[in-house]
């Protein structure tokens, strides 16, 4: 199946990034938000990201304008009626995601594929509220979506081989490297990354090392582009907590249990870059 028109549910950090990536790859994109204020904020972030690319000489002004011309913002799911693929990028709440999938399923054409950007929740549970579980899969992008090269394509027990192949081809058309993951908690990368991230917090909590030394060890010793605490602040403590907690509830494996320090920081509103303070402090 050929994909020409893409719908994106949510224009927050991930939704805006996914929208931009798809539009830059030449797709017509419809992006949905619950109100005009959030929609305009998301569209402004896309414009800002592209403008920085122009300033740095990474793309031309014409490329920026062409990308923006392929993006349509909306507050109505009815605008998904002619989409070939819809990618849900709402917050990590199963009830909300099921509601979105059930609604979009009624509006999209029968051939359309429905995907979720969830990083931890059961995709087959979302699929079963639709009349097309064979056409539902995971397309897990990484933050920031325009820069990160990986795409986890997640196959549920109900996903057809045709849907999987279409999802893989779509991801490749975006310039992403594809890995295929099973529909299990954390898929591949977060199943590795979340315990690593939580262990770094536990080391700090236990007074084994400072956050600066742990981050230096990760970047200079392991060759990672960012330290675990810098990465944590970028992602948001609340986001990692939600993923870790979902993994723990599903598996009951203590390695996924969020540390006490993390819970206290979230209670204090220290979520990372987006609040100006996390493990490090930032200018808002």
Q: Which residues contact 58 (CB under 8 A, 6 or more apart)?
A: none
* Residues 260, 95: Cα–Cα separation, whole Å: 27
Is the bond preceding 144 in cis, omega lying within 30 degrees of 0? yes
Diameter of the chain by CA atoms? 56
Catalytic residue annotation: 119, 140, 152, 190
CB 9 within 8 A of CB 100: yes
What residue ranges in the chain does DSSP mark as E strands? 5-9, 28-32, 71-74, 85-88, 113-116, 136-141, 150-155, 177-182
* Residues 94, 166: Cα–Cα separation, whole Å: 25
Question: In Å, what is the CA distance from 162 to each residue of 3, 62, 122?
Answer: 13, 36, 21
* Residues 172, 187: Cα–Cα separation, whole Å: 19
Closest CA to 225 of 114, 150, 166, 277: 150
Q: How many helices (H) and strands (E) does the chain have?
A: 11, 8
């Amino acid at each position: 199946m050929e994909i020409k028109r893409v719908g994106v549910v949510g224009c927050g950090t991930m939704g805006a990034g996914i929208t931009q990536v798809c539009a830059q790859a030449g797709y017509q994109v419809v992006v949905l938000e619950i109100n005009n204020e959030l929609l305009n904020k998301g569209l402004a972030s896309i414009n800002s990201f592209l403008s920085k690319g122009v300033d740095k000489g990474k793309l031309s002004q014409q490329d920026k304008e062409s990308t923006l011309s392929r993006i349509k913002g909306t507050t109505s799911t009815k605008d998904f009626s002619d989409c070939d693929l819809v990618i849900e990028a709402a917050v990590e709440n199963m009830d909300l995601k099921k509601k979105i999938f059930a609604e979009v399923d009624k509006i999209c054409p029968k051939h359309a594929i429905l995907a979720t950007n969830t990083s931890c929740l059961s995709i087959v549970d979302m699929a079963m509220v639709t009349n097309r579980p064979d056409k539902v899969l995971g397309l897990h992008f990484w933050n920031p979506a325009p820069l990160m090269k990986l795409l986890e394509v997640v196959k549920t027990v109900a996903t057809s081989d045709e849907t999987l192949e279409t999802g893989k081809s779509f991801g490749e058309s975006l310039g992403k490297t594809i890995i295929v993951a099973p529909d299990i908690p954390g898929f591949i990368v977060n199943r590795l990354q979340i315990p690593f991230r939580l262990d770094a917090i536990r080391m700090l909590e236990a007074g084994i090392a400072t956050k600066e030394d742990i981050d230096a060890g990760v970047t200079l010793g392991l060759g990672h582009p960012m330290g675990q605490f810098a990465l944590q602040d970028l992602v948001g403590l609340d986001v990692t907590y939600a993923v870790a907690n979902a993994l723990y509830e599903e598996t009951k494996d203590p390695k996924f249990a969020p540390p006490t320090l993390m819970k206290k920081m979230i209670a204090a509103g220290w979520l990372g870059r987006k609040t100006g303070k996390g493990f490090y402090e930032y200018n808002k």
